[in-house]
Structure formats: C-alpha cells, structure tokens
Structure 1
C-alpha cells in the first residue's frame, strides 16, 4: 500500500491531493480569481499560491485522515505551466519532502492529466483529447511513450475561450470557460465562423480575432445575443476537436 501526496500549481488553481493505491483520499483546491475582463499574471498567481498553500496542505491531511509519517512519496507538478507558480509550489514540495524525509518525484503536467483520466475511467490504451487553458493536443501511446499526433499551431482552446470571455466581461468565478458554456446552452442562433483544421492540427487565433472584431457590431445590431456568440464559438471549436480526434481513431484502427 503506497500513499502519495501531490502538489499542483501550474496555473491559477492550487491543489494538494492524497492518493492511496489509486483511491483519492483528499483533493483540496484554491483558485486565484481575477476581476471580470482580466486574466491572471504569473507574479500575482504565485503570490496567491504562497498565501494559501499551507492551509490547503493542512486541509488535505485532515480530509484524508493521514499523518505525515504515513506518506510514502511526495509528488509535484514539474511542468509545463506558468514558471512563477510552478516554482512556488515546487519549493514547498521539496521542503516538505526534506522535513518528512520522503522521496520526491516531479510529474509532467500533461501525463498527469492523462494518467488521471485512465485511473478514473479504467481505460487501458486510450486515445486522448487533451485540452485545457494552455494545451490542445491529440495524444496516444505508441512505442513505450505518449506521442502527439495533432495539436494547436497557435493558442490553446482554453486560452481562446478565456480571452473571448474577457470581451464579454464574463466572471472568472469559477472559470471563464464554465461561464461561456452556461451562456452557450441558452444560445439559439449559430454565427458562421472560420473553421481551421490543417491535417491533424487546428488553429484558433484567427477564429478568436474574427469574433472579437465582429462581436461589438453584432451585439449592438441585436442580430446576435451574447448567448448566441458563446454558442457559436463553442460549437465551432468543439467540432474541430472532434474532427481531429476522429481522424486519429481511424488511423489507429
């Protein structure tokens, strides 16, 4: 029986989790939330993580009902992510490992997401559509390693949605993408948008520029509502992701 504690702080969410042989004992988080229309900067995000990480660590231990001496290994997100928040959390993880006299291991952020999905779903050899604020990739396991078969050639889908949320001044609580999805469910009119799939790769920056430039005029004219624009953007981006994921599944059959 192995008990591992993990520290995650690659972006604006700070998390500490404890797992025992694949069973999640605690998963405690604190998110740095900025005002509507603003993103989160590395320096301020790192300051947030420093201010809450010890409280989140204490909460994780209490919820898991685990003492430090029962921990077998300390894990932390090594990257990719935002440098300052990553460094802040890494320093705490290394300090904890030394204080508790435990081995420590750095975890690749992307592989951590994939392995978490495999654990929860019980998948053996999945084709993975990995999308987040900073990543958009189609990944599969081949020749003893994860390999990227398709990806964005500019910005990630999460970044695209976040930046459009700023145009509409949507709240960052709990996240811009979540609030876009809420509005999208109420959308009724589909605005034709550029659709950019290049082989197994996608491009989102042109779509974002297009809808950013058109949004003010469209909203003022009354032809489209904010709900319609969120619906149109989300449907277009998701359709592109479905296409490249489906293409990889056909290739691997």
Structure 2
C-alpha cells in the first residue's frame, strides 16, 4: 500500500501572514545591513522568511532581481534636496546624506558606481540633479558633471565598505609610514608619516577621520566642477 507524503499547510491555515515581494525585499535588506550586498544567498533569504527558495522566485525573481529591489529600496531612502537649492549645496547635501544611508548597507555604493543607479528610485534624483546643473549653466556638460560628482563620492563609500574586510590595513599603513618619520631624504614620505602619526595620536576615531576625508573629497570635487563652470565657453 503506497503512502502519500503529508501536505504542507498553507501559511494562511498556519496563521502566518502571506509572503509578498515587499517582505522578501525587507528580509534581503536586513541581511544586506548585516552581511553586505554580496554576503547573502537566496536560500538565506528564504530561511529567514521560513519559505522555500521557489517562493522568492515566484514573487520577485532570481537573486539579481532581489538585489535590484534592495538597491532600489536603499536609494529611495537617500533624501533629495529641492531643485531651488544652489547647485553646490544641492550636491554637497546629496552626497553627504547619501553616504549616511549607503554606509548602512555595504556593497550598494559599489553596485551603484559599477552597474549604475539603474533602479526606479534613482530616476527622480538623476532628473533633479541634472536639472540643477543645467540651471546653473553647465549646459552640455551637465550629465558628465553629474556622473563625475556622484561617482567620486560613492566610489569612496565603496572603499570604506571594502576596508572592513581588511581590519588591520590602517594600522599596517601607519607602521609602514612611521618608518620614514624625520627622513629628510624622502620628504614626501616624511610628510605622510607625520600625518599618520598625528592621526594615530588624535582622540578622533577612524569613523570621524573617514567622514572628514569624505567631506574633503566632496568639496574638492565640487571645486573641480565649479572651475569648469567658470571657464570661458569656448575653452570647455
């Protein structure tokens, strides 16, 4: 006599809420915050939700589709200034606010730079940012300036994310530079050593140093864009 395997109860009959695409992205977003965008699998998302991996495929698609959903969700959380804000303030605010959001979800910044912000949530930001640059007088260079500013800022965020995989890198670099302290025959390395030593002795933590350097990078990128804006039209 053949035996039939017992049927699995439906989520409704088990008193569980239904699975939706939003719930799947929510779970993947939590895993991204914990492990980075490349640090989880579809099976891990399904385990977190208590469903079979096929349920993920049914509601969202393959892993790439889930990654797109996570990226879209993260970008949607970056505050976007109004278009009446001066262009330099607009981008300075967007990049600093963007860093604060992206640092919570390691790997998303790198994807934005390498693959592009090709998700619905990014479209409004792109439209507003390029409009701000057009209104400022950048003309045909507006789209290139937009890419230059955002890539400069968010590639640095990606580096900050990746640095977590090398916990001793900063200390190792400091030791390497310290060997050249007071070395008059290598003035460049001596200057780098002095800064490394001063940084190691300062009370500020690494997170503050990274934020300071990010702000420095943002300001210098904006300086570069402004210099192009102020060049005569026939030399651009």
Say which structure is richer in helix. 2
TM-score (norm 1): 0.30
Point out the structure with max Rg over C-alpha. 2
Normalized against structure 2, the TM-score is what?
0.32
